[in-house]
Chains A and B, each alone.
Chain A
Amino acid sequence: MNEVLPIAPEGVALPLLKDSDHQALVVDYNATAARYPSDRTIIDLFRDQTTRSPDAEAIRFGDATLTYRQLDERSNQMAAYLSSTGVGPGRIAVVFMEHSIEVVVAILGVLKSGAAYVPVDAATPKGRITTILQDISNGTDGSPPVAITQSRLRSGIASNLADIFVLDADFDSISNQPASARPSAATPDGAAYIIFTSGSTGTPKGVEIEHRSLVNYIWWAARVYSSGESLAWPLFSSLAFDLTVTTLFTPLITGGRIVVYLGDPGVQSMVALKVIDDNAVDIIKLTPAHLAMIRDRNLETTRLRKFIVGGEDFKAALARDITNAIPHPIEIYNEYGPTEATVGCMIHRFDTDRDQSASVPIGVPAANAGIYVLSKEYQPTGPGIIGEMFIAGDGLARGYFNRPDLTDERFRTVADPRDGRSKLRLYKTGDLARWNSEGRLEFLGRADHQVKVGGTRIELGEIEARLLKHPDVHECAVATSMTKAATQKTAQIGHGEPSTLEDGIARLVAYYVASKPLTVADLRAHLAEELLESMIPTHYVRLERMPLTSNGKIDRSSLPEPTAENIQPAQVFVAPSTETEKTLAALWCQLLKLESIGRHDNFFELGGESLLVVRAVSRMRKIFGVDVQLRNLFERPTLAELAEVIDGMRWVADSNAPSLSEGPREEVEL
């Protein structure tokens, strides 16, 4: 469960939000009301465009093209066929197809029939498709959904779980349908699509978006991104990723063109490069990771003029590199928004001169959206205080399909933060943010990236945000790594110290992609400027590139385990040299479950805590025969320092012992 631990606790230490801040950060910031055709559906808007430019090219895939009129007619036929099979309002049609002209026809046909479409990526494993189909079936009184697919993908769907329609094989049954327009059965309150996203429990959850929310978003996107122009947009990202919704519908209501790209098998993530090399589009929407991939392409002759970046934290250095690589003026937008708030609800246009912070700001709310940073008591937080982001407005999803418990958990109706009296429906994003002193919102990553290391609750996003401010770090992810078994801490009332299972020692690991080699000392010093010592990662792993999910986001589950080979040395490694250091290093390695320890490694920074300290001291006494105290370890916590203490103690003890040799002795002052 993604419940947020108390980030912004009540208490004496917290400043209250001043009236002037409340007005600026809560009220004025969210004054976003804007007119849009809330009584119409996305289909109505598409038909309006078809009327305006029937012969304009609407979609292209290789040499194949369809005009607006043709696309409208094909989708009419599709809708007529679906209606004849009982598909209509309240029904759900799964679209399990590769990128093609047909997939757009299918989606428009489903929408015209009044049903909602569920996009499923062509690379989705069969098990996940089964889960989604069963979920839909369970949520619609046991009736199997319609699944529209292609011959090549047909085997991915179990026959008993869906009424399968193979579009390319059964095309005759569509082409025989009337191409003329019939009134669309879609309504503004009806569901337009359901996108299944990964759940924290591992079970996908379907986010249900209504036409009105979709129209609100696309109407706004058309105004901001197309600005009255008819642009060519590449359809290359996964249809199951809501980032693609922008590319699918914005061109179709603005007279633009969809250019379809199909990734090569096995290298799907490289399709972004195909888009660049083809040089047939004016605007592109993609993730920062995809943008980073195209940074090294020759962009001098690109016709791209607009970039919309979303899905993850967007580094300003990357935006600057892209700006510099393209000779003509370009627009770069950072769009923030979870699927639950219909694609995007915040926007910032990158400005090379003005945006000097490490990350491109996530900006200001989109039309008819509200953004609030709240404490766990749903109170607006003041500047500098980390809170959770909540979203309000017309973009909010209906909820999670067939998951009323989860919907209640994440969509909450609370006192409106603006006036504290009226009620407002909010989506609890699970994302952390804070207002900086300049009144800008800083995005700090996921709240469920909060971990407990050494008894301290740590926001991984806060560490990542700071690490990304390093001028040479392009991408990063911070994770925890456990040695052997899991560490478990249970603090109990009346006990001064939590109990600890020592077999598992949790350590923070920072993974990063950098333009040049960086030392751990440099990274640590950079982090230490803003972070507590407990938040400084123990290990650093430099990667060539971050592992990505099919959606182009950092795939945390694929980050490599930190090993002796990939961990960067904490500092220039100085091997234990004296006998005492070697013996002590062996002891620490055993206690801390490490393979090697250098002279300058610090016992506590390596995970030494609680009972381990006592064990270490006890063992050192036995091994070295001197009375090492806990105090010595706290005072001189590095291997070399403590070894020097031990050597000194032994020397003092030997000096006080009677001489071993016989014969005359001499005493001198030196």
Chain B
Amino acid sequence: MSASSMKSPMSAHVMQFSELLADLAVKDIKVWVDGDRLRCNAPAGALTAELRDQLQGRKGEIIAFLNMATAAATQPPAIIPLQSRGTRTPIYAVPGHVGAPSSFLDLSKHLGGDQPFYALQPPGFDGQSEPMDRVEDIAEYFARQIVEYQPTGPYIIAGYCSGAPTAFELAKILGQRESEVSCVALFGPLHPTTYGEWPRRLYFIARGKAESFLHETAKLPTFGARLRYFGSRLREHVRALVPLVGKSNEPVATDPVLASRALLKSTAIAAFQRYIPTPYSGRVCIILPNKAWLRSGAAPHRWLRVVPHAEFYFGPDDCNEASMLMEPDAPAIANLYRQATQKLND
């Protein structure tokens, strides 16, 4: 398949600029920006009058290119701009424990073009660095980069699912450094005790699976259809178990991306489990997928122990935590966020 098929010549502009850069590289001519000036270091005689004229004539273009390149190379890697324009207080959002910044894409779109939205990429997500095993360290990592990117507040710090404790800690760190955090918005947050207490963890996982099953079967009209669905789910589980219990002589191919993702996930869960939240006096809005989530085992009410003034908002009854930030629930959740933060933006 082809992305496009009608071919036409590329614009002359880029060719020329590209050729110019290549020409400079071949001649070992180095060009860099010094403030608003363009400086050049070249082997004696390499910078001919013709070349000098050409560089001076395209000075603005070269400065813009070098500034872009410098910014691209030096900006904080954790800050992923999903929507960098807008006049509202910027949101910095911590994803769940898989760490995918793209999990906020739909929500960001539904918050509109005036809402700057930055997803935070945890260390270890891109397989280049090692994941961190303490929530406090991850939060500190984010705090440094946020301040580097946007030196002064106000900020809105958001967290989704098991990213909530990191967001919470991040807000505390920023607050301790006297940066203004207008609000902490936690979307479907898991309290650390969800995974820290085994009975709760088992209940949470079992309930989640049962809810998912019931959600699907509710859509089926007859007992027979439900039975068939149950059978298919059972077969899926059995198929998933076969490789675990069976012996295979096949060498297991290790995909480095999947391996680093698995490492990130296990490290993030370990960090999440051992984190103990401490009191926070700032504004916290807890946005739950639905009211039933209060009894999900995610223990959202336990946040009240450290934030007794936290505000709760609930999404539609059929909204699922695992997909609450995605279509088609994203508009309703974006609406809840707007309600929660309306006072800030008024």
Partner of B14 from the list A405, A573, A577, A666 (CB cut-off 8 Å) is A577
Instruction: State whether B3 touches A494 (Cβ < 8 A).
Output: no
In the complex, chain B residues whose CB is within 8 Å of the CB of A280: none
CB-based closest 7 A-B pairs = A496-B96, A648-B69, A493-B208, A11-B316, A569-B4, A564-B2, A409-B221
Instruction: State whether B4 touches A567 (Cβ < 8 A).
Output: yes
Instruction: State whether B18 touches A596 (Cβ < 8 A).
Output: no
Q: A663-B43, A666-B42 are in contact. List 20 more A-B contacts (CB 8 A).
A: A12-B336, A455-B106, A492-B322, A496-B160, A496-B162, A498-B323, A569-B4, A571-B4, A576-B10, A630-B126, A631-B121, A649-B69, A651-B65, A652-B32, A661-B43, A665-B44, A666-B43, A668-B42, A669-B37, A669-B39
State the CA gap A668–B329 with chains docked (Å).
59
Interface SS of chain B: helix, strand, loop or mixed?
A: mixed
The distance from the CB of A403 to the nearest CB of chain B, in whole angstroms, is 11
State the CA gap A382–B131 with chains docked (Å).
49
Partner of A575 from the list B7, B37, B102, B207 (CB cut-off 8 Å) is B7
Instruction: State whether A596 touches B261 (Cβ < 8 A).
Output: no
Instruction: State whether A613 touches B102 (Cβ < 8 A).
Output: yes
Instruction: State whether B316 touches A497 (Cβ < 8 A).
Output: no
> B83-98: contact bitstring with A at CB < 8 Å (1 yes, 0 no)?
0100000000001111
Interface residues of A in 621-637 (CB under 8 A from B): 621, 626-627, 629-632, 634-636
State the CA gap A161–B122 with chains docked (Å).
68
In the complex, chain A residues whose CB is within 8 Å of the CB of B209: 492-493
B319 sits at the interface (CB 8 A): yes
B8 sits at the interface (CB 8 A): yes
**Could you list 11 examples of A-B contacts with CB < 8 Å?**
A1-B225, A12-B335, A456-B326, A493-B204, A493-B320, A576-B10, A578-B14, A610-B102, A618-B256, A665-B42, A670-B59
Instruction: State whether A611 touches B128 (Cβ < 8 A).
Output: no
Instruction: State whether A493 touches B70 (Cβ < 8 A).
Output: no
Instruction: State whether A6 touches B38 (Cβ < 8 A).
Output: no
Could you say which interface size class chain A belongs to?
A: 35 or more
> B52-86: contact bitstring with A at CB < 8 Å (1 yes, 0 no)?
10011001000001101110110101011110100
In the complex, chain B residues whose CB is within 8 Å of the CB of A277: none
Q: A457-B328, A493-B204, A577-B18 are in contact. Are A644 and B68 (CB under 8 A)?
A: yes
> A543-581: contact bitstring with B at CB < 8 Å (1 yes, 0 no)?
000000000000000000011110111111111111000
B212 sits at the interface (CB 8 A): yes
Partner of A11 from the list B109, B163, B319 (CB cut-off 8 Å) is B319
Instruction: State whether B6 touches A13 (Cβ < 8 A).
Output: no
Partner of A651 from the list B10, B21, B208 (CB cut-off 8 Å) is B21
A594 sits at the interface (CB 8 A): yes
In the complex, chain A residues whose CB is within 8 Å of the CB of B34: 669
In the complex, chain B residues whose CB is within 8 Å of the CB of A668: 39-40, 42, 47, 52
In the complex, chain A residues whose CB is within 8 Å of the CB of B205: 493-494
Instruction: State whether B40 touches A661 (Cβ < 8 A).
Output: no
Interface centre among B5, B66, B162, B163 (most CB of A within 10 A): B5
In the complex, chain B residues whose CB is within 8 Å of the CB of A1: 220, 225
State the CA gap A457–B121 with chains docked (Å).
26
State the CA gap A9–B314 with chains docked (Å).
14
Who on chain B is nearest to A499 by CB? B98
State the CA gap A597–B4 with chains docked (Å).
7
Instruction: State whether A13 touches B81 (Cβ < 8 A).
Output: no
Instruction: State whether B327 touches A455 (Cβ < 8 A).
Output: yes
- Among the stretches B23-31, B168-176, B177-185, B241-249, the one at the interface with A is B23-31
State the CA gap A372–B34 with chains docked (Å).
69
Instruction: State whether A626 touches B73 (Cβ < 8 A).
Output: yes
Partner of A645 from the list B69, B194, B221 (CB cut-off 8 Å) is B69
Interface residues of A in 1-57 (CB under 8 A from B): 1, 3, 5-6, 9-14
In the complex, chain B residues whose CB is within 8 Å of the CB of A163: none
Instruction: State whether B221 touches A492 (Cβ < 8 A).
Output: no
The distance from the CB of B209 to the nearest CB of chain A, in whole angstroms, is 7
In the complex, chain A residues whose CB is within 8 Å of the CB of B331: 13
In the complex, chain B residues whose CB is within 8 Å of the CB of A626: 73
B152 sits at the interface (CB 8 A): no
Instruction: State whether B30 touches A573 (Cβ < 8 A).
Output: no
Instruction: State whether B5 touches A573 (Cβ < 8 A).
Output: yes
The distance from the CB of A388 to the nearest CB of chain B, in whole angstroms, is 12
In the complex, chain A residues whose CB is within 8 Å of the CB of B321: 493-494
B254 sits at the interface (CB 8 A): no
A599 sits at the interface (CB 8 A): yes
Q: A610-B100, A626-B73 are in contact. Are A494 and B208 (CB under 8 A)?
A: yes
B125 sits at the interface (CB 8 A): yes
Instruction: State whether B98 touches A659 (Cβ < 8 A).
Output: no
A495 sits at the interface (CB 8 A): yes
B15 sits at the interface (CB 8 A): yes
In the complex, chain B residues whose CB is within 8 Å of the CB of A659: 28, 30, 41, 43
In the complex, chain B residues whose CB is within 8 Å of the CB of A578: 14-15, 18
> A505-541: contact bitstring with B at CB < 8 Å (1 yes, 0 no)?
0000000000000000000000000001110000100
State the CA gap A609–B99 with chains docked (Å).
14
Q: A9-B319, A567-B5, A601-B4 are in contact. Are A496 and B11 (CB under 8 A)?
A: no
State the CA gap A599–B10 with chains docked (Å).
9
State the CA gap A458–B161 with chains docked (Å).
25
A615 sits at the interface (CB 8 A): yes
Instruction: State whether A629 touches B8 (Cβ < 8 A).
Output: no
Instruction: State whether B258 touches A611 (Cβ < 8 A).
Output: yes
In the complex, chain B residues whose CB is within 8 Å of the CB of A570: 3-4
The distance from the CB of B24 to the nearest CB of chain A, in whole angstroms, is 9
Interface centre among A3, A599, A631, A660 (most CB of B within 10 A): A631
Instruction: State whether B1 touches A456 (Cβ < 8 A).
Output: no
In the complex, chain A residues whose CB is within 8 Å of the CB of B282: none
Instruction: State whether B56 touches A670 (Cβ < 8 A).
Output: yes
Instruction: State whether A574 touches B43 (Cβ < 8 A).
Output: no
B138 sits at the interface (CB 8 A): no
Instruction: State whether A648 touches B65 (Cβ < 8 A).
Output: yes
In the complex, chain A residues whose CB is within 8 Å of the CB of B44: 663-666
State the CA gap A621–B68 with chains docked (Å).
18
State the CA gap A661–B26 with chains docked (Å).
10
State the CA gap A562–B1 with chains docked (Å).
7
State the CA gap A634–B319 with chains docked (Å).
28
The distance from the CB of B196 to the nearest CB of chain A, in whole angstroms, is 14
Q: A574-B10, A669-B37 are in contact. Are A598 and B3 (CB under 8 A)?
A: yes
B332 sits at the interface (CB 8 A): yes
The distance from the CB of A71 to the nearest CB of chain B, in whole angstroms, is 44
Interface residues of B in 221-241 (CB under 8 A from A): 221-222, 224-225
B165 sits at the interface (CB 8 A): no
In the complex, chain B residues whose CB is within 8 Å of the CB of A330: none
Instruction: State whether B66 touches A648 (Cβ < 8 A).
Output: yes
State the CA gap A534–B257 with chains docked (Å).
26
The distance from the CB of B136 to the nearest CB of chain A, in whole angstroms, is 20
Instruction: State whether B317 touches A10 (Cβ < 8 A).
Output: yes
Instruction: State whether B28 touches A661 (Cβ < 8 A).
Output: yes
Instruction: State whether B40 touches A667 (Cβ < 8 A).
Output: yes
The distance from the CB of A449 to the nearest CB of chain B, in whole angstroms, is 15
